[in-house]
Amino acid sequence: MNDFQILGLRTELLQAVSELGYQTPTAIQARAIPILLSGRDMMGQAQTGTGKTAAFALPILNGLDLDLVGVQALVLTPTRELADQVAHAIHEYGQHRQVRVLPVYGGQSYSRQISRLQRGVHVVVGTPGRLLDLLGQGVLNLSSLRFLVLDEADEMLNMGFIEDVEAILSQTPTARQTALFSATLPEPIRRLSDRYLREPELVVTSSTRLTVDQTEQRQYLVSESDKLAALLRLLEMEEGIRNILNFVRTKIGAGALAEALLERGVQADALHGDLTQPMRETVLRRFRDETLPVMVATDVAARGLDIDDISHVINYDVPLDSEAYVHRIGRTGRAGRTGVAITLVTPQERWRMDRIERFTKQAIARATLPGKADVLNRRKERFLSRLSDRFTPELVDDERRMVERLVEAGYDPADIAAAALRLAREGERQWAVDEISEIREPARREVTARRTGRRDSRADGRRRQRARSRCEAGMVRISINLGKEQGIRPGDVVGAIANEAGIPGKAIGAIDIQRQQTFFDVVDQHAERVLQGAGRWKLRGQPVMLKCVD
């Protein structure tokens, strides 16, 4: 018996959720499932980690006619990882109904996906780009579609996929039932709902509190050159470590940090946009299985991750906007567990943390890094704990006989034990002890003065840039050497720039695609990061040259 029984779901689905350990529906599940079972359209506002996948998956599975041939349900997601997770969840919920589910996204073989579609599937879960490709090839037929879900619609908007989403919606039967889920409901999402949903019922379950009580938040002031050493010291000292997710701003930074950790004996790997899909899946599988204790990721690469048991989120780089901070730390302290969110802050970035605290309406505790003596004492404690586990007589018989031989040779037992301990500890790593310099908090007025000077300089530069650029205040106009003749679309620009530069899609403004070049506006604080990619990035397989428009 569980509380899902009162929702009116099929017996096979109740059996599946019971076997998965579900007892009580979450807020979004309790409100959305009855609406969708009744056949009405709905728009749900709910954060990641609130159980929204089951909120739409269970009603879909409840209504499928397994005797019908053709795709009956389509779920659109912004990322490949989320598509995989949703497809896996639907498969688990529908295991007693023999439901066939297919995830489709870029980076996988077309032939495999086409073969599966030709054999017949009930539910397709995919990203907009690959779905459009399959529709264009005529291998994805949506004429039998009865259920449509737009999952994380605001992320699809931020990544520039809304045009693709509308192109897909235009090819679906008008009689379908539609559900839209989004963490936020900006005006473009509401307009989308007005156009494609029929009198949807609005369900809002988002909390007014942006961060959760189960997550302990701390910040450490460090110099840029000491960030790696500070991270190593924290990895040494933190309690209850299971999975650690490190956030950095760029994919280059992700790879560099992962390599630096590996060089120092920490099992780490990076998740970023340059990985092939099989490589991404391998990294995620190892992280979920806890054979990879530390994963380093960019915000873009980590979108859609749904891993409950992350003990620590570490902001190795302070996020550039406050919403990104909330999304990052929301990946720990989930499913009733406690979590820790740590941010390494350079003196130049303290104003960003002040802004994050105002946004979240919470103070983030200022903490002091553990010292060299703390690390050495912790190592001693761990060593003595491991040593005490070896005191079982049958485990030390050989060693006891070796000690007796040394005593017979005239050595003192205490000296023998001390020498043995010294020998056992000779392999202890030196990082987090020798590599870190003293980290002192600069005088407040010194930091303020330096920051004010930089701000004044930046402000002067921005004023000059705005005077030259033909775009709104606060934005910088940048040109790309590719345009309509190369098949460039707005979604390509937003997706590529956001992914490569590690900035939010909403930081990109107006886009003007001309015959052989493209112009786009970007929030001025991100302009330098975008321009650093000139000549290193590719769009539609061609090198991208970027420059500011004078």
**What pLDDT, in 10s, does the model give residues 5-58?**
889 899 999 999 888 878 788 889 999 999 999 999 999 987 666 788 999 999
| Distances, alpha carbon 296 to alpha carbons 211, 270, 313, in Å | 22, 5, 10
pLDDT over 60 at 451, yes or no: no
At CA 295, angle to CA 290 and CA 297, rounded to 5?
A: 145
For residues 390-403, give the mean pLDDT: 68
For residues 95-107, give the mean pLDDT: 90
What length does the chain have? 550
Q: State whether CATH 3.30.420.40 applies to domain 215-369.
A: no
Query: What does 473-509 look like in DSSP terms, one character per residue?
Result: TTEEEEEES--GGGT--HHHHHHHHHHHHT--GGGEE
Query: Hey, which bits of 301-362 come out as E strands?
Result: 312-315, 339-345
pLDDT over 90 at 60, yes or no: yes
pLDDT over 80 at 515, yes or no: yes
The answer to whether the CB of 4 falls within 8 A of the CB of 14 is: yes
| Distances, alpha carbon 441 to alpha carbons 342, 367, 529, in Å | 17, 11, 27
Contacts of 403 (CB under 8 A, 6+ apart): 413, 416
| Distances, alpha carbon 396 to alpha carbons 392, 393, 402, 419, in Å | 7, 6, 10, 17
Contacts of 482 (CB under 8 A, 6+ apart): 488, 516, 517, 518, 539, 540, 542, 544
pLDDT of residue 138: 92
pLDDT over 50 at 459, yes or no: no
Q: Which of 109-123, 381-395, 452-466, 510-524 has the highest mean pLDDT?
A: 109-123
pLDDT over 80 at 239, yes or no: no
Q: How many CA atoms lie within 13 A of 14 on its CB side?
A: 11
Identify the CA nearest to 315 among candidates 225, 237, 253: 253
pLDDT over 50 at 446, yes or no: no
pLDDT of residue 445: 35
**Domain extents for the chain?**
3-204, 215-369, 373-424, 461-548
For residues 318-330, give the mean pLDDT: 80
For residues 455-469, give the mean pLDDT: 39
pLDDT tier, 430 (very low <50, low <70, confident <90, very high otherwise): low
pLDDT of residue 123: 97
pLDDT tier, 203 (very low <50, low <70, confident <90, very high otherwise): very high
Distance (Å, whole) CA 328 – CA 339: 12
pLDDT tier, 342 (very low <50, low <70, confident <90, very high otherwise): very high
pLDDT over 90 at 508, yes or no: no
pLDDT over 80 at 129, yes or no: yes
Candidate from 160-169, 284-293, 305-314 with smallest mean pLDDT: 305-314
pLDDT of residue 463: 36
pLDDT of residue 462: 41
Order of strands, edge to edge, in the sheet holding 508-513? 508-513, 518-523, 475-480, 546-548
From the candidate CATH numbers 3.30.70.260, 3.30.530.20, 3.30.70.330, 2.60.40.420, the one assigned to the domain spanning 461-548: 3.30.70.330
pLDDT of residue 276: 79
pLDDT of residue 245: 93
pLDDT of residue 295: 93
pLDDT over 50 at 108, yes or no: yes
Q: Which of 196-205, 282-291, 449-458, 538-547 has the highest mean pLDDT?
A: 196-205
pLDDT tier, 460 (very low <50, low <70, confident <90, very high otherwise): very low
Above pLDDT 90, what percent of the chain?
A: 31
Question: Domain 3-204 class?
Answer: alpha beta
pLDDT of residue 145: 96
pLDDT of residue 457: 42
Candidate from 143-147, 230-234, 404-408, 473-477 with smallest mean pLDDT: 473-477
Would the CATH topology of 3-204 be identical to that of 461-548?
no
Contacts of 208 (CB under 8 A, 6+ apart): none
pLDDT of residue 336: 65
Query: What does 354-390 look like in DSSP terms, one character per residue?
Result: HHHHHHHT---EEE----HHHHHHHHHHHHHHHHHTT
User: Over the chain, what is the mean pLDDT?
Assistant: 81
Q: Which helix (H) or strand (E) holds 221?
A: strand 215-221
Candidate from 282-291, 333-342, 365-374, 502-511 with smallest mean pLDDT: 502-511
pLDDT of residue 461: 43
Distance (Å, whole) CA 333 – CA 312: 9
